[in-house]
């Protein structure tokens, strides 16, 4: 299957700083990428849908000014957590789809564990 690489896998940052998480599709072009958040022992909650070259679509309740998403190319999307606080500590997962109307499978990155201290 296609490979989605997420970096970093694990990051600790101080409260008030910003953290950038990268999501790359290594062997395919991802028209659409998705960003999820997962709290311990809970399911994945969609934060936003990112389309290459356009603004991300955020789910209700997700602060777009706090979680900045950039999808500048067909192989890279970034999530920046701005002015991070301890409550932002979570597991963030990206996924990507190849093309449109062709492949219904979503490929997932390995996730990023963010700890804000």
Buried b (16+ CB within 10 A) or exposed e, 8-30: eeebebeeeeebebbbbbeebeb
Which of 51/80 has CB closer to another protein? 51
List 51, 70, 80, 82, residue binding another protein (CB under 8 A):
51
Cα-Cα end-to-end distance for the chain: 37
| From 43, 65, 86, 117, residue interacting with another protein (rule: CB under 8 A) | 43
42 near another protein, rule: CB under 8 A: yes
User: Per CB under 8 A, which of residues 83..102 are in contact with another protein?
Assistant: 91, 93, 95, 97-102
The number of residues in the chain equals: 117
Quick check: 77 binds another protein (CB under 8 A)?
no
Can you tell me the distance from the alpha carbon of 94 to that of 102, in angstroms, rounded to the nearest whole number? 20
Half-sphere exposure of 63 (CA within 13 A, CB side): 8
Q: Which chain residues interact with another protein by CB under 8 A?
A: 1, 31-32, 34, 38, 41-44, 46, 49, 51, 91, 93, 95, 97-106, 108, 110-111, 113
């Amino acid at each position: 299957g296609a490979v989605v690489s997420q970096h970093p896998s694990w990051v600790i940052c101080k409260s008030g700083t910003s953290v950038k998480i990268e999501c790359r599709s290594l062997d395919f072009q991802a028209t659409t990428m998705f960003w999820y958040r997962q709290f311990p022992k809970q399911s994945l909650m969609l934060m936003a849908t990112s389309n290459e070259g356009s603004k991300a679509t955020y789910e209700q309740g997700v602060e777009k000014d706090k979680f900045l998403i950039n999808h500048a190319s067909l192989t890279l999307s970034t999530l920046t957590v701005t002015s991070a606080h301890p409550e932002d500590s979570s597991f963030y997962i990206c996924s990507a789809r190849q093309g449109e109307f062709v492949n219904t499978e979503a490929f997932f990155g390995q996730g990023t564990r963010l700890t804000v201290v």
